[in-house]
Structure 1
Amino acid sequence: MADEEGASPRELILEACRRNNTSLLEETLAELAASAIKAGKKPAEYIAATLNKAADGVGNGCLHLAATYGSYEVLDILLDQEGLEIDEIDRMEKDTPLHKAVRYVNSLDKSEWASAGHPIVDILLDAGCDPRIRNKAKLKPVELVDPRNTELRSMLQKGEYAMTAAGDVVEEEDDEGPTGSASDSD
C-alpha cells in the first residue's frame, strides 16, 4: 500500500466511519490484512493496532466518528475486530464512543430516536462499552440523554447495572480463587 497514491489506511477508515461506507471499510481492512501477511505480521493484531491508532485531528477514533455520525453498519464491522479498544477517550471532551452515540441520538428528531439512534447506543452497550465512564465535564453518557428520551435513559441505566453486577460477580470469583489455591497448597 506504500506505493499507492491517495489516502492512507487511517484516512480511509475514518472516512468510512463518517459516511457509513461498509465497502470502503471492508476493502481497507482486507488491504491491511494482506499487508500484515506480506510483512509476516498477524493480520488481526495489525488491523487492531491500525484501528486503535486511527484518529482525526481532535482525537476522535474510528468508533467515536461512527457513533457521532450514526454509522451503524460500520460500527457493526468495527466491533467485530479482535483487539479493538472500545472505550477510547477523545482529546477534546474526554468522551467515549458511548458519549458520542448519546449526543448523536440527541441530535435526531424525536421520531427518529428509536429507529436510528437507539440501535447505535445498543450495539455499543452489547459490545461491552462502559456506560459508567465520565467525560471531562464529569458526566456519564446517561447524564447527557435528552430528558424526554426515557427509553434511552433506561437502556444506559440497564447497561450500568449490568456492568456493575458483572464486576460484583468477578470480585466474588476472585475472592474464591485464593481460597481454592490455598486449599490446593494444603
Structure 2
Amino acid sequence: MTEEDGASPRELVFESCRRNNTELLEETIANIVSSAGKSGGKPTELVAQVLNSARDGVGNGVLHVAATYGSYEVLDILLDQEGLEIDEIDRMEQDTPLHKAVRYVNSLDKSEWALHGHPIVEILLDAGCDPRIRNKAKLKPVELADPRNTELRSILQKGEFAMQAGGDVVEEDDDGPTGSASDSD
C-alpha cells in the first residue's frame, strides 16, 4: 500500500496505526510536510490538520486506532506532532484514546498487562490525555479497567490525581500578588 497505488495520507496513517509501522508513518508525515512546502503552507499545521481530521469508517481518530491495536511506537511518534488533538471523542462510544487503551489492556492475557498494556496507557497519560473524561456510558477509563488489574487502576487514579492537582496549583498561582512576611511593615 503506497501513495503510487492511490492510498491517501489518511489511509496510510491508519495502516501504520493498525500495524505499529513507524517507517510508514514517518514516510507519510514526511510526504505531508513536503506537499505543504510545495503549496506554501505551514508543514506542522498541515500535519496536525491531516491527523486531527482523519477518521475511519466508525469515527475513530488516529490515536483511537493506535491505542486499540497497542501500537506503542506509532503512538510515540503521533504524540510528538505539534497541534495533535489528544482527547478526541470517537463517534460510536464517545471514547477517548485513553478509553481505547484501557480496552486494549483488558483484551490482553493477564501475563501481558504490565509489559504490553500499561505502557500504552502511560504514554497517553504522559502526553496529557485526561483520565477524567466520561464516555457515552458515563464511564471514565478507570471504570473500564479490569478490576483484577490493580496496577492499571492505580496508574489511572494517579493520572486523575495529577490532573486534579495540576489544576489546583495553577489556580493558586493565579490568585494575584500575595507578598511575603519580609515585605510587611
Query: In the comparison of the two structures, how many residue pairs are matched?
Result: 177
The aligned residue for residue 116 of structure 1 is 116
Q: Quote the RMSD (CA, aligned, Å).
A: 1.4
Question: Structure 1, unaligned stretches of length 5 or more?
Answer: 181-186
The aligned residue for residue 13 of structure 1 is 13
Find the aligned partners of 1:5 and 1:68 in 2 and give their Cα distance.
26
Output one character per residue of 1:114-170: Cα deviation in whole Å (capped at 9) or x when no partner.
000000000000000000000000000000000000000000000000000001111
The aligned residue for residue 74 of structure 1 is 74
Q: Which runs of 4+ in 1 moved over 2 A?
A: none
Q: Percent identity?
A: 80
Q: Give how far 1:24 is off.
A: 0.6
Find the aligned partners of 2:20 and 2:27 in 1 and give their Cα distance.
13
Relative to the length of structure 2, the TM-score reads 0.93
Following superposition of structure 1 onto structure 2, how do residues 50-69 of structure 1 map, counting pairs within 5 Å? 50-69=50-69
Find the aligned partners of 1:75 and 1:41 in 2 and give their Cα distance.
25
The aligned residue for residue 125 of structure 1 is 125
Relative to the length of structure 1, the TM-score reads 0.92
Following superposition of structure 1 onto structure 2, how do residues 93-172 of structure 1 map, counting pairs within 5 Å? 93-172=93-172
Find the aligned partners of 1:20 and 1:33 in 2 and give their Cα distance.
21
Report the more deviating stretch, 4-13 or 56-65.
Answer: 4-13
Q: Give how far 1:106 is off.
A: 0.1
Question: Structure 2, unaligned stretches of length 5 or more?
Answer: 180-185
Find the aligned partners of 2:125 and 2:142 in 1 and give their Cα distance.
12
Find the aligned partners of 2:157 and 2:150 in 1 and give their Cα distance.
10
The aligned residue for residue 183 of structure 1 is none
The aligned residue for residue 36 of structure 1 is 36
Q: Give how far 1:174 is off.
A: 2.5
Find the aligned partners of 1:173 and 1:58 in 2 and give their Cα distance.
42
Q: Give how far 1:4 is off.
A: 4.5
Find the aligned partners of 1:109 and 1:31 in 2 and give their Cα distance.
38
- Which secondary structure state, in structure 2, belongs to the residue aligned with residue 160 of structure 1? helix
The aligned residue for residue 182 of structure 2 is none
Find the aligned partners of 1:4 and 1:176 in 2 and give their Cα distance.
58
Residue identity in the other structure for 1:170: V
